Amino acid sequence: MGLRLQERLPQLATPAGSVQVTGDDGQPRALYISQQGTANARQWLLIRPILAEAERFQRSQYFARIGTWDWDIDTNHLYWSDAIYGMFGYAVDEVTPSYELFCNAVHPDDRAHVRAGELRCIETGENHDEEYRVVWPDGTLHWLRETGNVVKDERGTPIKMMGVVRDITEEKAWANQLHRLAHHDPLTGLPNRLVFEERLEGALASARRSHGRVALVFIDLNGFKAINDNLGHAAGDQVLQATAARLHEALRNSDSVARLGGDEFVTVLEGLSAERAPEEEARVIAQRLLLPLEAPIRLGDRSQRVGVSLGIALFPDHGQTRDQLIHVADLAMYEAKRSGDNQYRLGQAQALRARNG
């Protein structure tokens, strides 16, 4: 039964014909209705509200994007309620459900864990609850959540699984959007402070294991307030977006860049050799970052130069922890700022000792 139930039924004025219903075993059955005699007319009056309720149930499944399924373990026969066809990108009469059809529709990367969940349910009796992607015939990806449990015969042998499946594509999209908003700067698209601190911690842990070096670079734009005041906030936003794009292009895939807020950015450079002198390392890093940042930024019909200041701290040279390196890099950045535009300064170990008293 489903959204086209009324098409399968004869007109109510002449209740004769058949309609497909689902039996207790999950198999489709044909229900024959006849208008022969008064007794059958009374029978129709009893059946009609049941069929109407069944159609309402199927409609509610369709609009709630929930469907029911029934899988015979021995025969691999699979039953879908009408709503499930649409979740796999098919019309109700377009395909015949089968376990093979289901498996082929599941994204290749998800098939193993879906199958493992089914086997676990069959072997242990645990409830089946899996999220997976399906590939529609048009190539688009959709997320489904499937729950169910095993049905056993009188000897305790598993004979089938039954459950429901729900389309969670929109939920996944919303969750991804919320995650991005929580972890990225909405203006530049760069990771925010939370992500930066996590990545710095990860970079330090990796460097400790490999006896490598990590560079932390604080970047501040000079004269940014004047741009906002004189040219407007839209121009200021363009400067921030252009700076973010240039930093992203200047870094390797293994490096990270984030916006801390206002006109402050930060980069984490991993996999650096600990054999190079700190001063030489700082020079190479500064050259890589300053060159693209010094170029004028196009703002409408004018070009605007924006000065930058870099403060560089190295692990393990200037600190062992995230907070220590942040402190040293921050001090170095302000020292560079006092020296004029497009300057860099390498942090000093004594700055950390002074902080620790």
DSSP state of 297: E
More confident residue, 10 or 235: 235
Q: CA-to-CA distance for 160 and 153, rounded, in angstroms?
A: 9
Kind and range of the H or E run holding 119? helix 111-124
Give DSSP secondary structure letters for 27-82.
-EEEEEE---HHHHHHHHHHHHHHHHHHHHHHHHHHHHTEEEEEEETTT-BEEE-H
Do residues 110 and 71 share a domain?
A: yes
Same-domain status, 334 and 244: yes
Residue 256 to residue 201: CA distance in whole angstroms: 12
12 plus 119 within the same structural domain: no
Residues forming a β-bridge with 301 = none
CB-count exposure of residue 183 (10 Å: 0-12, 13-18, 19+): middle
The predicted pLDDT at position 5 comes to 42
Within this chain, do residues 100 and 140 fall inside the same structural domain, yes or no?
yes
161-166 average pLDDT score: 93
pLDDT per residue as tens digits for the range 245-279: 999 999 988 899 999 999 999 999 998 887 888 88
φ, ψ (nearest 5 deg) of residue 26: 85, -5
User: Tens digit of pLDDT for each residue in 301-357?
Assistant: 888 889 999 999 999 999 999 999 999 999 999 999 999 889 999 998 655 454 554
Which pairing describes strands 128-135 and 78-80: parallel, antiparallel, or unpaired? Answer: unpaired
Examine the domain organization and report whether 171 and 190 are in the same domain. no
Q: Residue 300's domain is classified under what CATH number?
A: 3.30.70.270
Distance CA 166, CA 131 (A): 9
Task: Judge if 154 and 284 occupy the same domain.
Answer: no
Whether residue 143 has pLDDT greater than 90:
yes
Q: What is the pLDDT of residues 108-127, one digit of tens each?
A: 999 999 999 999 999 999 99
Q: What whole-number distance in Å separates Cα of residue 264 and Cα of residue 256?
A: 14
Over residues 6-64, the pLDDT tens digits come to: 444 444 444 445 455 555 455 555 555 554 545 565 665 556 665 555 555 555 555 55
Q: In this structure, what token pair is assigned to residue 22?
A: 């689902």
Active-site entry in 185, 263, 317, 330: 263
* Dist CA 22 CA 17 (whole Å): 17
Q: Tokens 């390498």 appear where?
A: 346
Question: What tokens does 310 get?
Answer: 């870099």
Start-to-end CA distance of the chain, whole Å, equals 78
Domain that holds residue 280: 186-356
Query: Which residue carries 């004018």 as its tokens?
Result: 302
Please list, residue by residue across 291-315, b when 16 or more beta carbons sit within 10 angstroms of its beta carbon and e when fewer do.
eebeeebebeeeebebbbbbbbbbb
Query: Into how many domains does the chain fold?
Result: 3
263 included as an active-site residue: yes
Instruction: Based on the fold, state whether residues 210 and 280 are members of the same structural domain.
Output: yes
| Same domain membership, residue 342 and residue 195 | yes
Q: CA 275, CA 84: separation in Å to the nearest integer?
A: 61
| C-alpha distances out from residue 173 to 37, 65, 188, Å | 57, 16, 20
Q: What CATH number does the domain containing 129 carry?
A: 3.30.450.20
Contacts of 287 (CB under 8 A, 6+ apart): none
Q: How far apart are CA 1 and CA 28, in angstroms?
A: 9
Residues 28, 92: one domain? no
